[in-house]
């Protein structure tokens, strides 16, 4: 019975993963300028609203996209963004 329960994923986890994957796919097609605009919009939402899991999830996905793009350009910048992402995640948990 334990092996069966280890392979189960809750419906909420599945929905969250699906939402994050869709948002990530959306971000991948944006130009860098559009990605910056999307980030600014998200930051404004974070400032205006209470701490919502959805907004934090979107923030994590945007940070991943920035890191991925920066890795192609500059390893140093990518490492800086990874450090910033880790600091944010540590504060949220």
pLDDT in tens, 48-90: 876 677 788 888 888 888 888 888 888 888 788 788 778 877 7
Contact 44, 17 (CB under 8 A): no
Contact 65, 35 (CB under 8 A): yes
Contact 40, 27 (CB under 8 A): no
Distance CA(40)–CA(35), nearest Å, equals 9
pLDDT in tens, 7-21: 787 888 888 888 889
């Amino acid at each position: 019975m334990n092996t069966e329960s280890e392979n189960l994923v809750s419906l909420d986890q599945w929905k969250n993963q699906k939402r994050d994957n869709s948002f990530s796919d959306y971000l991948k097609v944006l130009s860098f300028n559009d990605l910056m605009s999307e980030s600014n919009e998200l930051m404004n939402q974070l400032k205006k609203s209470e701490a919502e899991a959805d907004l934090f999830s979107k923030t994590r996905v945007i940070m991943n996209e920035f890191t991925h793009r920066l890795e192609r350009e500059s390893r140093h910048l990518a490492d800086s963004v990874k450090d910033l992402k880790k600091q944010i995640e540590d504060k949220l948990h």
